[in-house]
Amino acid sequence: MSQPAPSIDQLLDEAAHAFGQGRLDVAGECLQQVLDQDPSHFDALHISGVLEYQRGNHERAVTLIQRALEVHSGFAEAHYNLGKVLQASHRFPEAASAYQKAIELNPALDPAWFNLGLVQMELHRPQEALTAFRRAVEMEPGDPVYAFNLGTCLMDLKNWTAAGDAFERVVAAAPENFQAWNNLGIVLKEVGETGGSQEAYRRALAIEPRFADAHFNLGNLYEQEGELQSALGSYKQAIDLAPRFAKALNNRGNVHYLLKQYDEARRDYEQTLQLDPANESARHMLDALNGVTTATAPPDYVRRLFDKAAPEFESRLVDALGYRSPQELRALFDPLTPADLRLEKAVDLGCGTGLSGEVFRDRVRHLSGVDLSANMVALARQKHVYDALETGDLLGFLEQSAEHFDLFLATDVLVYLGDLRPLFDAVNRQAASAAWFLFSVERSGEADFCLRPTGRYGHSRDYLLALADEFGWEVAALEDTVIRTENDVPIPGYNVVLKKMGD
């Protein structure tokens, strides 16, 4: 006598049991038997979709789960599982929609919030990701994975304090998480807690000594603190562990350069460019060391240089290097103009932290500033001497501006421009009647301009005079000066005051 065919409930029970034991083929056979009896069975379609996902058959999984949702669209877990498959298939917008539907049906489904956050990060929507991660952490505050990703999102948004809190939560719950210790080190460095940062990196390396990123980050910290030999050691360990670590090679080249180990610096820059031909900083410094003069320093090089230098920029430039160009230009400018004259509109090109703005504020009614470095602009904003501040390229700013300016200031910025003709042209177009153009440069020899081994440009007196004549500016003052003192060596330069001719 033949055995009766198993019921749908029996087949589902057997499928669930087999699934739990990892016997996916048996589970699949049981589910198919259910679908043979009832092609629209929600549970069989849904679980079959999950099974196909486990097998790596993502397209088949999506089809089955979508068929299940056509039968019963109000099951949050099915929308969540559809989101997981779509996320694994890199179909991020569709995955976000699936997770959002799951959350609408069950707002307490914390994995849906968490995965929605991951998808929003992939879609470059950090604010939306932050909301999702926060909801997941609120529901499961002890989950270190949730807190880790919340911290990573906050780092992306540069909310360093909150990111630090998130990573502190992670290492408290999972002290073996070396990646969280590393990220905590990054955050502490950003908020100026260098001692805590160093300890966090060391904790990461004590857990995983072969973690190249932590060696690299420790090297960055040592370099910032001026501990150059220690920085070299950390970068070497990072490179030994990850020989194709282009950033570590580039940074080690920078340290060799600072130590005047120029052959070693060249070698590191060359290797950096072999791995990352688009690395503008390495290209610029290699050109500088090899005596190759280019038209201008790459914007990315300048941006990174000053973003990195911003925290100690003023103390180093003014106190250590003896920089006084703004005060010297003001001393040249004042005798040429009535004492009570206040120019209507001025722009500080490459405003940095606002040193020139402070010196010239009382001579203008409206003062704008622009700089490539967002960190420099943030420091300038704290001084409250500018009426408007922008982060951006000097030429781009002038080309897009609808304003005409009475005064152009450019101190410690033309040293990162070789060919000054594009700048003179842009200034000319935005110059008001009787405008002034004040700037400082380092001095070169016979060449119009040259790229020095320092990575900065020098300009000749004849070149400056020729540009002034070509673009219709009268040379009101051009004086020799010492732009800065480096390693007790004075760097000669010029302070220049130009006035628009014919006015």
Q: What is the pLDDT of residues 122-135, one digit of tens each?
A: 999 999 999 999 99
Residues 496 and 455 in one domain: yes
Asked whether residue 193 is assigned to any structural domain, the reply reads: no
Report pLDDT for 36: 78
Phi, psi of 78, rounded to the nearest 5 degrees: -70, -40
Report pLDDT for 489: 83
pLDDT at 21 over 60: yes
pLDDT band at 163 (very low <50, low <70, confident <90, very high): very high
Contact 305, 284 (CB under 8 A): no
Q: End of a domain among 292, 315, 345?
A: 292
Asked whether residue 159 is assigned to any structural domain, the reply reads: no
Asked whether residue 182 is assigned to any structural domain, the reply reads: no
Report pLDDT for 473: 97
Per residue, the 3-state secondary structure of 235-268, as one string, reads HHHHHHHCCCCHHHHHHHHHHHHHCCCHHHHHHH
Q: What single string gives the DSSP state of each residue in 42-102?
A: HHHHHHHHHHHHHHT-HHHHHHHHHHHHHH-TT-HHHHHHHHHHHHHTT-HHHHHHHHHHH
Residues 375 and 458 in one domain: yes
Q: End of a domain among 292, 320, 341?
A: 292
The CATH number of the domain holding residue 272 is: 1.25.40.10
Residues 478 and 381 in one domain: yes
The CATH number of the domain holding residue 491 is: 3.40.50.150
Report pLDDT for 1: 40
pLDDT band at 43 (very low <50, low <70, confident <90, very high): confident
pLDDT at 90 over 50: yes
pLDDT at 112 over 60: yes
Residues 265 and 326 in one domain: no
pLDDT at 200 over 80: yes
Q: What are the CB-based long-range contacts (under 8 Å, 24+) for 16-21?
A: 16/47, 19/47, 19/51
**pLDDT of 231-247, one tens digit each?**
999 999 999 999 999 99
Residues 287 and 404 in one domain: no
**pLDDT of 329-367, one tens digit each?**
999 999 999 988 899 999 999 999 999 999 999 999 999
Asked whether residue 266 is assigned to any structural domain, the reply reads: yes
Residues 239 and 365 in one domain: no
pLDDT at 23 over 70: yes
The residue with tokens 């704290």 is 382
Residues 287 and 344 in one domain: no
Cα(251)–Cα(237) distance, integer angstroms: 13
Asked whether residue 184 is assigned to any structural domain, the reply reads: no
Total domains in the fold of the chain: 2
Asked whether residue 269 is assigned to any structural domain, the reply reads: yes
Residues 321 and 465 in one domain: yes
Contact 374, 309 (CB under 8 A): no
**pLDDT of 274-284, one tens digit each?**
999 999 999 99
Cα(462)–Cα(465) distance, integer angstroms: 5
Region of residue 19 (phi > 0: left; psi between -120 and 50: alpha; otherwise: beta): alpha
| Domain range enclosing 380 | 305-500
Asked whether residue 345 is assigned to any structural domain, the reply reads: yes
Residues 483 and 448 in one domain: yes
> Nearest to residue 425, comparing CAs of 468, 377, 371, 367?
468
- pTM of the entire predicted model: 0.83
When mean pLDDT is compared across 109-118, 314-323, 433-442, the lowest value belongs to 314-323
Asked whether residue 55 is assigned to any structural domain, the reply reads: no
**pLDDT of 437-453, one tens digit each?**
999 999 998 789 999 99
What is the pLDDT of the chain when averaged over all its residues?
A: 92
**pLDDT of 388-421, one tens digit each?**
999 999 999 999 999 999 999 999 899 999 999 9
Residues 475 and 344 in one domain: yes
